[in-house]
Amino acid sequence: MEKEQKATVIVLICGAFLSVLNQTLMNPAIPSVMAELKINATTAQWLVSGFTLVNAIVVAVSAFLMDRFSTRKLFIAVFGLFFAGSLLAAWGINFPVLLAGRILQAICAGVMLPMSMTVLLLIFPHGKRGSAMGMYNFVIMFAPAMGPAISGILTDMAGWHVMFLIMAVLAAIIILIAAFAMKNFGKTKQVSLDKLSVTESSLGLFCLLYGFTMFGKVETLPAAVVLIALGAGILLVFARRQLKLTEPFLELRVLFDKQFLYGIVISMLISASLAAVSLTLPIYVQTVRGFSATISGLIMVPGSILGAIGGYFAGNLHDKFGARYLSIAGVALLSLGSLGMAMWGLETPIIIMIIVYCARSFGLMIANTPINIWSISNLPDEILHHGNAVSSAMRQVASTFGVALMVSTMSLATNLYAVDNSARSQLIGIHAAFYLSIAIAVIGLVLVIVKVKDRKKTQVISESETASELDAAMHSNPYTLSSGDSIERVIEKFIEYRTSGLPVIDNSRHIIGYVSDGDVLRYMAKQDVHVVGESFSLVLPDNEEFMSKARELLQRNVLEIATKHTITVELSTSLAEVCRLFYEHKLRKIPVTQNDVLVGTISRGDTMRYLMKRLPFNTEHKTG
């Protein structure tokens, strides 16, 4: 990795750490905020739930922002908002000012997490993406583990105003470092903001998530059902609109990739289980067992730290062994840990709680890291940010729904089977929630066993006996076209990627055609029709104006001009055979497949560069 890449990775990791840390700082400080600002618990809770709602809405917008603005500009801009929000929160003379500061912080978090994941995946090659995701997951697990402890100490020693002031100082330092050290990765494009899509996605997510937060209370259940139905309906209209747009606000076609879809479903189950137990465990420790909030936090800290370490090493193990067996082991351990929590009683020792929670957290992250990598492995680099935005939004929905479902289950079980408000009665509701967590984990385990499968590795022979010549020479992250692209989009990609030809793939990355600039120009050329009979010869001239023909062409589908019978080579093909195809068929680029799935492209330039690297060219001119 080059120095510029290392600097960018460090800045991104620090930014992600601060963003995630900030999300968990508020809870321990809420009692102090309530006392100072003279607000009740319902109002104070909006400092957390409002943050969550804004964060989820902005996640959906993040893909557009990453398309439109460079990495460096976007990073500095969102951390500028974080800095301003932290200053507002530190000032915090009343509740509206504090809430406004939290909303600005939430905007930063909503962009920061999908952007950091996307850029890390672009910097690291496919074979090292497990390590990248390992670092990312280490940050997003370690930061929440430290957040409550840091918040509690700062609130007790200096007050919550100072806590936010320290966050502002840290944000200013990160902005200064990013201004000098951060570089841009990925390509930007001139896309316009579809205001209707923004309105639909924001309103739909707000209604859906706010409905989930109201779902756990009997008195607000009718309103919750209405909001959830309304949100789901608006999001359905939003989805249909995205599928019709040439330049969608959020590329939902990523969900047509079955591997990505199954990965999202499994990740949603994991997120729901994680969020639900994060809520029910403190209730069990504090309400049922009577321990303090400090003890509750200390019980969770070792598990969070172990989960962060597990997530880091899971990335490295994925690069070596793949996703299947690692994710099976992780979800199985998650299920066993959930079963262990369901066996907790009124006298379970604290050390047993810590051990069970550690096992569960470790299994969760051992599964989460490979599942995330596996789900996006089929997506082209140019739409990775759309995949990450969709994934983040869906996980946020799953987390909110998981919490609401757990609260409803606890309340229902307690009301049905408990006779009083004693600790034993409350334990019935806690056990019901834990059993539901087991069910969620088992469903996830079944899906992992059935659907998560690693690609078969092709055994090839080379001088090092580890990779073929073609594998070493080809471009392993090829730019592609999808079957739904218009010719206008094709030309945009030609210009954006500085290429003259691209393969067309379906949702399973099978090649269904190839388009070159020659195919476009052939359609634009003057095409007179010659009709020849036994006694006559007739020429029907092509009188269509050039610009009129161009406008018509731009609206056509790519498959209308694509070459259907595409020459491809298998990954095990020798370079000598590839060179023969270049020469005999006058080709400039050839798609490379493995088990009929596109894995790369090889061009004449790629071949020349490989030869220059491998052959001992002597550039010195000897004299005498």
Question: What does the block give as tokens for 402?
Answer: 């998981």
Comparing 282-296, 317-331, 387-401, 529-543, the range with the smallest average pLDDT is 529-543
Question: Is the pLDDT at 540 greater than 50, yes or no?
Answer: no
Question: Is the pLDDT at 59 greater than 50, yes or no?
Answer: yes
Q: Span 515-534, mean pLDDT?
A: 61
How many Å apart are CA 536 and CA 480, to the nearest integer?
47
Cβ atoms within 10 A of the Cβ of 304, count?
A: 24
Q: Give 272's pLDDT tier (boundaries 50, 70, 90).
A: confident
> Of 588 and 136, which is predicted with more confidence?
588
Question: Is the pLDDT at 571 greater than 80, yes or no?
Answer: yes
Residue 240 falls within a domain, yes or no?
no
Same-domain check for residues 482 and 602:
yes
Amino acid letter, residue 378:
N
Q: Tell me, what's the pLDDT at 173?
A: 94
Q: Of the segments 128-137, 384-393, 429-438, which one has the largest average pLDDT value?
A: 429-438
Same-domain check for residues 436 and 489:
no
| pLDDT above 70 coverage of the chain, percent | 83
Q: Give 79's pLDDT tier (boundaries 50, 70, 90).
A: very high
Which of the listed residues 411, 432, 457 is the one where a domain comes to its end?
Answer: 457
How far apart, in Å, are the Cα atoms of 162 and each of 88, 127, 148, 258? 12, 44, 15, 48
Question: What does the block give as tokens for 125?
Answer: 């090659």
* Contact yes or no for 397/271 (Cβ under 8 A): no
Residue 203 falls within a domain, yes or no?
no
Residue 121 falls within a domain, yes or no?
yes
Residue 441 falls within a domain, yes or no?
yes
Same-domain check for residues 337 and 382:
yes
pTM over 0.75: no
Q: Of the segments 123-132, 340-349, 493-502, which one has the largest average pLDDT value?
A: 340-349
Question: Is the pLDDT at 396 greater than 60, yes or no?
Answer: yes
How many Å apart are CA 605 and CA 59, to the nearest integer?
39
Same-domain check for residues 453 and 567:
no
Q: Of the segments 105-114, 161-170, 511-520, which one has the largest average pLDDT value?
A: 161-170
Burial of 302: CB neighbours in 10 Å, binned 0-12, 13-18, 19+: middle
Q: Give 542's pLDDT tier (boundaries 50, 70, 90).
A: very low
The 3-class secondary structure across 537-586, one letter per residue, is EEEECCCCCHHHHHHHHHCCEHHHCCECCCCCEECCCCHHHHHHHHHHHC
Which residue is listed with tokens 């989805």? 239
Q: Tell me, what's the pLDDT at 2?
A: 63
Strand partners, 532: 537
Same-domain check for residues 81 and 115:
yes
* Contact yes or no for 426/89 (Cβ under 8 A): no
Same-domain check for residues 264 and 395:
yes
Q: Give 605's pLDDT tier (boundaries 50, 70, 90).
A: confident
Which of the listed residues 168, 184, 200 is the one where a domain comes to its end?
Answer: 184
Q: Span 28-35, mean pLDDT?
A: 78
Question: What does the block give as tokens for 459?
Answer: 């055994």
User: Measured at the alpha carbon of residue 229, what is the angle toward residues 227 and 235, in degrees to the nearest 5?
Assistant: 100
Q: Tell me, what's the pLDDT at 85?
A: 93
Burial 504-534 (b: 16+ CB within 10 A, else e): bbebebebbbbbbeebbeebeeeeeeeeeee
Amino acid letter, residue 442:
V
Which residue is listed with tokens 């090659």? 125
Same-domain check for residues 496 and 414:
no
Residue 89: which residues within 8 A CB-CB, separation 6 or more?
A: 97, 98, 101, 102, 105, 164, 167
Same-domain check for residues 260 and 170:
no
Kind and range of the H or E run holding 202: helix 195-214
Task: Determine the distance from the C-alpha atom of residue 210 to the mean position of all C-alpha atoms in its chain, rounded to a whole number.
Answer: 22
CATH number at residue 608: 3.10.580.10
Q: Give 418's pLDDT tier (boundaries 50, 70, 90).
A: low
Q: Tell me, what's the pLDDT at 101?
A: 93
Residue 385 falls within a domain, yes or no?
yes
Q: Tell me, what's the pLDDT at 80?
A: 93
Question: Is the pLDDT at 623 greater than 60, yes or no?
Answer: no
Q: Tell me, what's the pLDDT at 525?
A: 62
Same-domain check for residues 442 and 483:
no
CATH number at residue 117: 1.20.1250.20
> Of 296 and 326, which is predicted with more confidence?
326
Residue 35 falls within a domain, yes or no?
yes
Residue 241 falls within a domain, yes or no?
no
Question: What does the block give as tokens for 2?
Answer: 């080059």
How many Å apart are CA 235 and CA 351, to the nearest integer?
45
Same-domain check for residues 363 and 412:
yes
Burial 117-141 (b: 16+ CB within 10 A, else e): bbbbbbbbeeebbbbbbbbbbbbbb
How many Å apart are CA 458 and CA 548, to the nearest integer?
49
DSSP E strand stretches across 435-548: 481-482, 501-505, 511-516, 529-532, 537-540
Q: Tell me, what's the pLDDT at 539?
A: 38
Q: Span 600-624, mean pLDDT?
A: 68
Q: Of the segments 30-34, 331-335, 551-555, which one has the largest average pLDDT value?
A: 331-335
Nearest to 206 by CA among 61, 406, 96, 29: 61
Q: Tell me, what's the pLDDT at 172?
A: 94
Mean pLDDT of the chain: 78
Which residue is listed with tokens 């334990």? 427
| pLDDT above 90 coverage of the chain, percent | 10
> Of 253 and 163, which is predicted with more confidence?
163
Q: How many CA atoms lie within 13 A of 511 on its CB side?
A: 29
Question: Is the pLDDT at 10 greater than 50, yes or no?
Answer: yes
For residue 39, the enclosing domain spans 1-184
Amino acid letter, residue 229:
A
Comparing 64-78, 152-166, 258-272, 279-293, the range with the smallest average pLDDT is 279-293
Q: How many domains does the chain have?
A: 3
How many Å apart are CA 27 and CA 281, to the nearest integer?
15
Which of the listed residues 136, 163, 184 is the one where a domain comes to its end?
Answer: 184
Question: Is the pLDDT at 107 greater than 60, yes or no?
Answer: yes
Same-domain check for residues 326 and 442:
yes
Q: Tell me, what's the pLDDT at 187?
A: 64
Q: Tell me, what's the pLDDT at 169?
A: 94
Q: Tell me, what's the pLDDT at 168?
A: 93
User: Measured at the alpha carbon of residue 28, what is the angle toward residues 22 and 30, in degrees to the nearest 5?
Assistant: 95
Same-domain check for residues 409 and 304:
yes
Residue 605 falls within a domain, yes or no?
yes
Q: Of the segments 273-277, 527-531, 532-536, which one has the largest average pLDDT value?
A: 273-277
